[in-house]
Amino acid sequence: MTIKTSPDTRGGDQSPASGRRRKQERRPRKGLPAWFVPYALLLPGLVIIAGLLLYPLFQMIVMSTQKVGLREIRRGTTPESVGLGNYEAILDNDLFWSALRNTVIFALFAVTLTLVAGTLVGLLIQRLGKKMSKLVIIGCMAAWAVPPVAVGVIWRWLADADAGIINWFLNLLPDGLSQALFGRSDWTAVPWLNDTLSIYTILTIAVVWQSFPFIAVSVLAGLKSIPSELYEAAKVDGSTGFRTFRKITFPLLKPVFAVLLVLSVIWDFKVFNQLFILAGGTTNRDAFNLSMYAYSEAFRSPPKMGSGAAIAVLLTLILLVVTFVYVRQIIKQEDIR
Amino acid sequence: MNPLTRRKLTTIALNTAGVVVFLAAVFPVYWMVATAFKSNNQIFTTDFIPFPTEPTLDHVERVFDKGVAGNSIWVYLKNSVIVAVVTVTIGAVFSLLAATAVARFRFKGRVPFLILLLVAQMVPAEALLIPLFLNLQRLGLYDQLFGLVVVNVGLTLPFGIWMLRTFVAAVPKELEEAAWIDGASRFTTFWKVLFPLVAPGLVATSIFSFITTWNEFIFAFTLMRESTGYTMPVAVQFFFGQRGTDWGGIMATSTLMTIPVIIFFLLVQRRMVSGLVAGAVKG
């Protein structure tokens, strides 16, 4: 299957050689030696990535085995090593386990819902007429474009206890239905952002709302690559909608889904901004996910940067496993060799 | 049911679903903008008021005059623009160089470098935040906009290179070879042949970096102490620290923060998707 993505995604050196004589001319006559040029071009970028990414990651691992408190930060005294003490303390702390639970359960729900919603919308857009599909795509773009902090703000407002639209809407439902569904018929002044479960409910809706467009647009791009003959053949054979999806669409788009799944997991595992706004900063410890927990350990007074770093190391390790799958998938598909 | 009515019904059902999706996607954004222009009477009510029927510019004027955290919103808008523009400019130069290296040459360490770019997108911000906070303090860049720029260059560069390399690779190599045959130096070839052809891709990549930097919250929140150095997302967050939440002001500020992103977004969305799912979609 081939898709017309706007830039050609192939690697560079693929122009066919057109004979021996031209090959000799394939380099400028003066300037740097050929082997050195790529390294010279790469150097500045590599220095930046090394200085702002690799070295800090190394520092983080070192710090996770040290006690880095106010004294070490202020006076710059050499931190004392505590071995694996930070890790032991964290794994002993109930807060870590509740943060881990929040992170994993949230990711499970958010990723599933995002992928399902995004795929359905992608399939829908493909079947819509020209004008209508354009309208839906523009709507999706608007949701996708909103900055994460603004997403938090908007949903905090929608979920406001007194003036929020969510409570207004739930009050509209017939009392019997509302009672049967949620065990409550009066939604006046119900606070959504106090306890963990309802914070995460709103967070899930907010994150799904913001991330389904990316899935939809990617799935759509994939769908356009599937030759329509396949669908015609399926129709002739009397295949129905769901069966066609299961037997044709899904297998052909499997690589797309693999990457989308991994990207969604990575993004939802480290969601921070939206949660920070919805939970009202770092005061509500029950609502922490791993990112918030690491941040709050390191920066809320008294700062415990060593133990914050240890949490960050654990989070990074989890994500590294997920990324491994992603990288393998990308390398398999794209000839970056 | 005859097939014609059935087809009609399907069309109606699909279009209804389309309208529902459109409304669900757009409503929260619309609600933010609508709230920014509503009077306080219409904001703080349990009723549903779909349109600002008594439209007012009070909130917009207030966030510019009085602002939040002791400064007008102008200060934060200015900081956000400075940080984003400088980051994008520096990033464009370095990502173009690196992207050319990766797309045009085969050299030892190329594949590991590309994998590094992919892995970099996974690293959680909190992991870098702690060491970078200490490093910037040591270097005297804490609470400096330039420090924030440096961090943002590091955050946006890996994806910038990843995205830009596909644009460089798309330029036919024969064009450069032709210039070489005519005796042009590497630099002339790069500047006169490759650069103009890659420029649209560079713009798309830069807009993407601009959006990332513009939206970035946690580093700006942690690395800037004085309120005069806050960026827009930090300023928005600051509203919640006050007694009695000023929803009109928050929504006016959020709207000001969101509009540039939506505009840019519509400009690059197609390229962004192809950059992110690059390999997967190609198959």
With beta carbons under 8 A apart, name residues in chain A contacting B281: 3, 5, 9, 218, 221-222, 225, 256
**Residue A12: inside a domain:** no
Mutation target among A3, A52, A264, A327 for the B interface, most CBs of B within 10 A: A52
**Residue A23: inside a domain:** no
- More confident call, B72 vs A71: B72
- Asked if A301 and A288 count as a contact pair (C-beta separation under 8 A), the reply is no
**Residue A287: inside a domain:** yes
B223 to chain A: closest CA residue: A299
Question: Per residue in B25-46, pLDDT tens?
Answer: 999 999 999 999 999 888 888 8
**Residue A98: inside a domain:** yes
Are the beta carbons of B236 and A153 separated by less than 8 Å? yes
**Residue A240: inside a domain:** yes
Q: What is the mean pLDDT of residues A54-73?
A: 90
Mutation target among A157, A170, A220, A277 for the B interface, most CBs of B within 10 A: A157
Question: Per residue in A301-335, pLDDT tens?
Answer: 888 999 999 999 999 999 998 888 778 877 777 65
Question: Per residue in B177-186, pLDDT tens?
Answer: 888 888 888 8
Q: Is B268 on the interface with A (CB under 8 A)?
A: no
Per-residue pLDDT at A9: 40
The residue segments making up the domain with residue A234 are 45-336
Task: Name residues 178-237 of chain B within 8 A of A (Cβ).
Answer: 180-181, 183-187, 189, 201, 211, 214-215, 217-218, 222, 233, 236-237
**Residue A22: inside a domain:** no
Here the ipTM equals 0.89
Are the beta carbons of A135 and B22 separated by less than 8 Å? yes
pTM of the model: 0.88
Per-residue pLDDT at B263: 85
Which position has the token pair 């881990």? A100
pLDDT band at A10 (very low <50, low <70, confident <90, very high): very low
Task: Give the HSE-up count for residue A3: Cα atoms under 13 Å, Cβ half-sphere.
Answer: 27
Peptide bond before A302: cis, by omega within 30 degrees of 0? yes
DSSP summary character for residue A286: G
Q: What is the mean pLDDT of chain B?
A: 88
Over 80: is that where the pLDDT of A31 sits?
no
Q: What is the mean pLDDT of residues A28-57?
A: 87
Question: Per residue in A99-149, pLDDT tens?
Answer: 999 999 999 999 999 999 999 999 999 989 888 988 998 899 889 889 999
**Residue A270: inside a domain:** yes
- Asked if B157 and B91 count as a contact pair (C-beta separation under 8 A), the reply is yes
A15 to chain B: closest CA residue: B173
**Residue A150: inside a domain:** yes
- Asked if B249 and B82 count as a contact pair (C-beta separation under 8 A), the reply is no
pLDDT band at A27 (very low <50, low <70, confident <90, very high): low
What CATH number is associated with residue A277? 1.10.3720.10
Are the beta carbons of B44 and A331 separated by less than 8 Å? no
In chain A, pLDDT over 90 holds for what percent of residues? 47
Q: What is the mean pLDDT of residues A37-49?
A: 93
Q: What is the mean pLDDT of chain A?
A: 85
Question: Per residue in B76-108, pLDDT tens?
Answer: 999 999 999 999 999 999 999 999 999 988 888
Per-residue pLDDT at A336: 54
Per-residue pLDDT at A15: 44
List residues bridging with A81 in a β-sheet: A66
Domain count, chain A: 1
Question: Per residue in A235-254, pLDDT tens?
Answer: 888 887 788 888 888 888 88
Distance CA A155, CA A170 (A): 15
With beta carbons under 8 A apart, name residues in chain A contacting B185: 28, 30-31
Comparing CA positions, the residue from B91, B111, B201, B204 lying closest to residue A11 is B111
**DSSP letter for each residue of A244-279:** HIIIIIHHHHHHHHHHHHHHHHHHHHT--HHHHHHT
Q: What is the mean pLDDT of residues A170-188?
A: 85
**DSSP letter for each residue of chain B:** --HHHHHHHHHHHHHHHHHHHHHHHHHHHHHHHHHHTS-HHHHS-SS---S-SS---HHHHHHHHT-BTTB-HHHHHHHHHHHHHHHHHHHHHHHHHHHHHHHH---TTHHHHHHHHHHHTTS-HHHHHHHHHHHHHHHT-TT-HHHHHHHHHHHHHHHHHHHHHHHHHHS-HHHHHHHHHTT--HHHHIIIIIHHHHHHHHHHHHHHHHHHHHH--HHHHHH--SGGG--HHHHHHHGGGSSS--HHHHHHHHHHHHHHHHHHHHHHHHHHHHHHTHHHHH-
Task: Name residues 35-94 of chain B within 8 A of A (Cβ).
Answer: 35, 43-48, 93-94
Over 70: is that where the pLDDT of B246 sits?
yes
Per-residue pLDDT at B82: 97
- Asked if B230 and B8 count as a contact pair (C-beta separation under 8 A), the reply is no
